[in-house]
């Protein structure tokens, strides 16, 4: 029995030796994944965000990269695709298993028992003579590359959303500031109109109109504040934070943000074909083509090599070659009828390829549309911003002249307040168009796949 015990220990030792390298491989895979994670700064073009010269925006982008749940889910999906590749690759390798089978035997009409121990070792290998399993592994690898590009699409979309929401908050900060002044202005107008109405200087209809404008300006202020809070809540979700902390979110003033961006006259087609969603579909098409080839090879025979080695020992004998069972051989199998399963599988592979091809062609058109729309909107809103700046300068000059007239007693306080109201209205338009240009810049960033 000492020999038997020694053999069991040796078997367990070799099993541990087999498992440890496998664990080391998994750790190696994990370390490679960690290195890939650092490259997210490259595919989201983090340097472009640094050039916006806004430390608060840069901080929110960083927090989103680290904490956003969609970004984490995309990373896990990529890991899943890589693990799936490992599973499929295992079909190319020999399969071996070892067992330990102890028995205690008592024969009828006897009181004596005997023990035995068997150590069977079974090995099998599908000889991939026609490259079927190799094609499946290759398709899985290319699919994992496609998932990587899909992850880049998701990450670029998330950081673009963070930038867009941030600029909307900055925009609403400025508009709320101006709207509060407008509400105060209209209140003063209403108060003066009420005094003038009592003295019979202005009509009751003018008084009612001024009161209505005052009330509506208060409603607009409420809507702006509501929109800002909703935007802050959206930012909290994007950076993986609680909405309870939104009151502490810092941001720059719109006045300190400059639109110093050279608008390109046109976008090269090379940028479109290098978009990650475009590359993802290219990889999917390549993988689907290989899947069709693999489905065709299912009609070919499967060739297997088999081997069995088993040692057996009893109380009266040890484990040696005389007590062993050895078997080696092979087989070739060709399914004659499988209920049209292989035919249906081939049709499904072709259908999936056609669907991906249609999606690929649609993405090509959509990419061109998105780039053209973003570029056109940016040019249009920049022109609108320039016009609003001119309008504000004109209105501001008019207000300065009115202030001088008021100081000289030429016009009334009511006339001056109405000029101030017009100036605040144009200031709101200017602030809105400036923020629109900043958001359009992010839209162009996203449409080009972060290649601006």
386 is a domain residue: yes
Higher pLDDT, 180 or 263: 180
Predicted confidence (pLDDT) at residue 220 exceeds the cutoff of 50: yes
CA pseudo-torsion sign 162, 166, 168, 172: positive
Name the least confident of 6-15, 249-258, 427-436: 6-15
Higher pLDDT, 408 or 13: 408
**Rounded distance, CA 316 to CA 70, Å?**
65
pLDDT digits (tens, 9 = 90+) for 323-373: 778 888 888 888 887 778 899 999 999 999 999 999 999 999 999 999 999
Task: List the domain range (segments joined by +) for residue 420.
Answer: 46-91+98-103+117-447
371 is a domain residue: yes
Q: What is the mean pLDDT of residues 153-168?
A: 97
Count of structural domains, the chain:
1
The residue whose two tokens read 């484990």 is 319
370 is a domain residue: yes
| Mean pLDDT over the full length of the chain | 87
Q: What is the mean pLDDT of residues 85-98?
A: 90
Closest CA to 319 of 121, 105, 95, 113: 121
314 is a domain residue: yes
74 is a domain residue: yes
20 is a domain residue: no
The answer to whether the CB of 333 falls within 8 A of the CB of 301 is yes
SS3 label, residue 439: helix
Q: How many residues does the chain have?
A: 452
Report the CATH number that the domain containing residue 390 is assigned in CATH. 1.20.1600.10
Predicted confidence (pLDDT) at residue 322 exceeds the cutoff of 80: no
DSSP 200: T
Query: Which of left, alpha, beta for 319 (phi over 0: left; psi -120 to 50: alpha)?
Result: beta
List helix spans (H) across 90-203. Answer: 132-198
Reported confidence tier of residue 283, pLDDT bands at 50, 70, 90: very high
427 is a domain residue: yes
Reported confidence tier of residue 100, pLDDT bands at 50, 70, 90: confident
354 is a domain residue: yes
- pLDDT in the model for residue 2: 41
Predicted confidence (pLDDT) at residue 232 exceeds the cutoff of 90: yes
């Amino acid at each position: 029995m000492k020999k038997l015990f020694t053999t069991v220990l040796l078997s367990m030792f070799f099993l541990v030796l087999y498992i440890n390298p496998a664990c080391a491989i998994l750790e190696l895979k994990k370390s490679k994944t960690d290195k890939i994670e650092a490259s997210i700064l490259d595919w989201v073009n983090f340097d472009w965000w640094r050039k916006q010269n806004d430390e608060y925006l840069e901080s929110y982008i960083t927090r989103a990269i680290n904490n956003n749940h969609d970004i984490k889910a995309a990373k896990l999906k990529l890991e899943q695709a890589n693990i799936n590749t490992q599973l499929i690759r295992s079909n190319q390798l020999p399969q071996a298993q070892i067992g330990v089978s102890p028995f205690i035997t008592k024969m009828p009409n006897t009181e004596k028992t005997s023990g035995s121990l068997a150590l069977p070792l079974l090995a099998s290998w599908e000889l991939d003579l026609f490259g079927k399993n190799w094609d499946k592994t290759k398709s899985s690898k290319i699919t994992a590359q496609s998932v990587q590009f899909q992850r880049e699409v998701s990450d670029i979309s998330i950081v673009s959303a963070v930038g867009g929401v941030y600029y909307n908050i900055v925009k609403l900060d400025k508009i709320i500031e101006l709207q509060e002044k407008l509400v105060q202005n209209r209140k003063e107008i209403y108060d003066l109109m009420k005094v003038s109405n009592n003295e019979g200087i202005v009509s009751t209809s003018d008084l009612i109109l001024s009161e209505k404008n005052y009330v509506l300006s208060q409603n607009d202020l409420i809507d702006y504040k509501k929109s800002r809070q909703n935007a802050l809540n959206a930012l909290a979700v994007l950076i993986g934070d609680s909405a309870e902390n939104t009151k502490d979110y810092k941001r720059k003033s719109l006045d300190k943000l400059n639109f110093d961006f050279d608008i390109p006259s046109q976008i090269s087609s090379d940028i479109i074909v290098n978009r990650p969603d475009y590359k993802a579909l290219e990889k999917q098409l390549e993988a689907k083509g290989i899947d069709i080839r693999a489905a065709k090879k299912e009609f070919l025979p499967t060739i297997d090599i088999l081997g069995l080695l088993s040692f057996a020992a009893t109380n009266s004998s040890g484990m040696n070659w005389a007590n062993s069972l050895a078997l080696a051989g092979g087989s070739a199998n060709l399914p004659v009828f499988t209920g049209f399963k292989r035919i249906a599988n081939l049709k499904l592979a072709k259908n999936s390829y056609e669907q991906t091809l249609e999606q690929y062609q649609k993405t090509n058109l959509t990419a061109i549309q998105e780039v053209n729309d973003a570029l056109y909107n940016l040019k249009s809103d920049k022109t609108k911003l320039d016009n609003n700046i001119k309008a504000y300068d004109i209105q501001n000059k008019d207000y300065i002249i009115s202030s001088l007239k008021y100081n000289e007693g030429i016009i009334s306080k009511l006339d001056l307040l109405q000029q101030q109201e017009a100036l605040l209205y144009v200031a709101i338009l200017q602030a809105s168009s400036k923020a629109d240009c900043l958001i359009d810049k992010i839209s162009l960033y996203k449409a080009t796949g972060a290649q601006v």
